Amino acid sequence: MSSSAKLTVVEVRESLQRFGLADYIVFVASLLICVVIGVYFGWKDWSVQRKRKQNVRRGSAALNYLVGGRKMKIFPVAMSLIASFISGIAVMGASTETYLHGTQFCYVFTAIILMAVSMNFIFLPVYQGLEITSAYAYLQLRFDRRIRLLGSGLFTLATLLHLPIVIYVPALAFNQVSGVNVHIVSTSVCMVCIFYTLVGGIKAVVWTDVIQMFIMIGALILIVLKGTADIGGLGVLIERNMASGRIEAPNFNFDPTERHTIWAIFIGGGSFWMGKNAIHQMMIQRYLALPTFRDAQKALLCFTVGIILLLMTCFYNGLLIYATFHDCDPLTTGLAKAKDQLIPVLLMKVLGNYPGLAGLFISGIFSASLSSLSTGLNSLSAIVLEDFVKPFVRKPLSERSTRYIMRGTVLAFGIVAVALVLVVEKLGTVLQLSMSLVPISLGPLLGLFLLGMLLPWVDASSAFGGALCGLLTMSYIVIRAQIAVAAKEMLIPAKPVSVEGCEYEFELPPGYNTSTTLPPQMVEKSIHHVSYLYYTFIGAATTVLIGSISAAILRRQQPSKLDPLLVAPFVRKIYFPHSIPRTVVTTHTFDNKEDTALYLTCLLFYEYASRRNYVALTHAQPPTGTRG
C-alpha cells in the first residue's frame, strides 16, 4: 500500500464510473418504452370511453383502470407478479446479504413454498369467489367497515414504508456507476414511473412489468456468465466461498434471537412472504385481473417457480462478488461507499468495458424497482378510491371524478415516496430494513385475514382488539430494535474478508480487523433481540391469539350465520357441510367490458342470495345475531 506507483481508491472508483454514451442510450430507451406503453394504454382506454360515452355504466373506469376489466392474460400477469415482488431490494439486497453473511438466507425457498400453499388453499379461493377490487373489501364483508378502514390504513402505512426503500436502491446503483447524485436520479426516474402509472393504469403497469422483467433477467444472466468466466469458472467460485465459510448448511438452532436459522426463515420468512403476497393489494390486484380461479392458480405457480429461480440467481451473485474480491474487500477499502453498492462495483468490473451492457444492467435494477413502485402506486389508488372515498360519499361518483381521484392519488403518493428517500438513506442495509419496517403493519394485517378466513367464530370487535394489540407489540419491537441497531447494541457478525491482494492505495478504518470477525459482545437479551424474520409472525400471532381468545370468551359471533364464501374452502367443509357448492365453471364474456362486469355482479348476487336462503332454511330460524 506504500508504493507511489499505485492508484488511490478514489482514482480506482472514478475509473470504474465508465457509464458512457451507449449506456445512457440503453438506460433512457428503457424508460421511454415504459412511457410509450403508458401513453398507449391511456389513449386506448380514453378512445373506448369516448366512443361509448352514451352507454358507459358507472364504475367502468375504475374496473378498467384497477383490474383491466378482469380480462388480463396469465403470462403478463405472472411476469408482473414476479417483477413487482422481486424489486431492486431483492436484486441488490440478496446479493449483499450473501456476501456479508453467507448462504443461510438462501433457504428462503422453503418460505416461498409455504406462501404458495397458503395462497392456493386459503386466500385465492376466497378472493376469486367474491370478485372484489380491493382486497380489504373482504374485511368489511367479513367483519365491518371499521376493520376495513383499519386494514386499508395498515396497507397504506406498509406501502409508504416500503416504496422509499424501493426507490433508493437503484439510485444507489446508478450513483456508483455514473457519479450522478442519488436524489437527482431517484427524483427524475420516479417522475417517469409516476407518469406512466398515472396515465395507463393497471394495463400499463402489467405490460411495462413484462418488458422490465425481460431486461432484468437478461442483465442478471449477463453478469452471471461473464463474471463466472472471469474468475476461472464455477469451481473457483465454490472453492473460494467454501474456504471463507460462506456456503453453509441449514442452521437448525432453536434460538429465536439468532439472525438466520431454518426455523426463522421458514416460519418467520413464510409469514412475511404470505403477508406480502396473500393479503397485499399490490399482488392481489394482479390475481383479480384474471377471469377465473384456474387462471389465478396457474399465475401463482409461474410466480412461485420464477421468484425462486430469480432469488437463487441473486444469491449466486453474492457468492460471485466474494469470489471476485476475495483478497480485496471493496467495503473495507472504500471502493464501495455503501454495502448495497457491491453489485454495481462488480458490474463495472465485469461489464464496464462493453458499451451498453452496464446500461442494460442498471436498467434491469431500475426496472425491478420501478415495477414495484408503479404497482404500489396503482394499488394505493385502488385503496383510496374503494376504501376511503366511495364509502363516505352520498352520491355515486361520476366517471370524471373517479379518474381524477385515482390519478391524483398516484401523483400525491409518488411525491411523498420520493421525499421519504431522504429518511431511508440514513438507515441500514435495504434487505433487513424492508423486512423490519414493513412488518409493523403487515403482521397485524395478516392476522386479521387469518382470523376472518380460518376462525368463523371471531367477531369484528375481537378482531379489532387483536389487531391493535398486534400493532402496538410490533411497533415497540421494531422501533426498539432499530434504536438498538443505531446504538450498536445489536452487532451482526459478518463473514471474514481480506485486503491483502489490493493493488491500489487506501486507508483502513481505525481498529478494523480484516481477517477475523470480532466475537459478539454478551448482552442481556430482550424481546427486541428476536430475529427480524420473526416480526411478521409475531404481529400476526398476537392478533390471532388475542382476537380468538376474546371471541371465545364473548361469544358474539355464531359461525352458522356467516356467509360460507367468506371462509377458506376447507373451513367451509367443517362449519358449513350443507352449503351449496360453487358449480359455476364457465365465465361469460362480452365485447363490452361493462356488460361483463354487470353479468359477474348479477351472477355473484344470485349465488350469494341462494347460499343465504339455503343456510337459513337449513337452520330453520331467522338470523338474530349481528354480522359485522
**How many C-beta atoms lie closer than 10 Å to residue 110's C-beta?**
15
Residue 614: the pLDDT is 40
Residue 116 pLDDT more than 90? yes
Alpha-carbon gap, residue 315 to 318, rounded angstroms: 5
Report the alpha-carbon distance of residue 315 to residue 305 in Å, rounded. 16
Contacts of 533 (CB under 8 A, 6+ apart): 259, 260, 264, 265, 268, 269, 272, 435
- 562-571 pLDDT, tens digit each: 889 999 999 9
pLDDT at residue 87 in the model: 65
Contact of 536 with 271, CB cutoff 8 Å: yes
pLDDT at 580 over 80: no
pLDDT of residue 480: 86
* Per-residue pLDDT at 612 exceeds 50: no
DSSP state of 397: P
**In the predicted structure, residue 610 carries a pLDDT above the cut 70:** no
Question: What are the residues whose beta carbons fall under 8 Å from the beta carbon of 202, sequence distance 6 or more?
Answer: 65, 66, 67, 68, 72, 285, 289, 378
pLDDT of residue 362: 78
Quick one: pLDDT band at residue 100, thresholds 50, 70, 90?
very high
Q: Please write the tens of the pLDDT for every residue from 511-525.
A: 565 444 444 455 567
Q: What is the pLDDT of residue 304?
A: 93
Sequence-ordered list of residues with C-beta below 8 angstroms from that of 29, at least 6 positions apart, any chain: none
Tell me which H or E stretch contains 8: strand 7-8
Q: What is the mean pLDDT of residues 93-107?
A: 91
Average pLDDT, the chain: 78
CATH number of 20-51+67-426: 1.20.1730.10
Phi and psi torsions of 587, nearest 5°:
-120, 120
Q: Indicate the helix (H) or strand (E) that contains 504.
A: strand 504-505
pLDDT of residue 175: 78
Global pTM value: 0.77
Q: Per-residue pLDDT tens for 139-184?
A: 989 998 889 888 888 888 878 877 887 777 778 777 777 778 888 8
| Residues 165 and 434: beta-carbon distance below 8 Å | yes
The answer to whether the beta carbons of residues 261 and 251 sit under 8 Å apart is: yes
Residue 333 above 50 pLDDT? Answer: yes
Residue 323 has pLDDT above 60, yes or no: yes
Closest CA to 368 of 153, 171, 505: 171
Q: Domain locations in the chain?
A: 20-51+67-426
pLDDT (average), residues 97-116: 93
pLDDT exceeds 90 at position 591: no
In angstroms, the CA 240 to CA 238 distance is 6
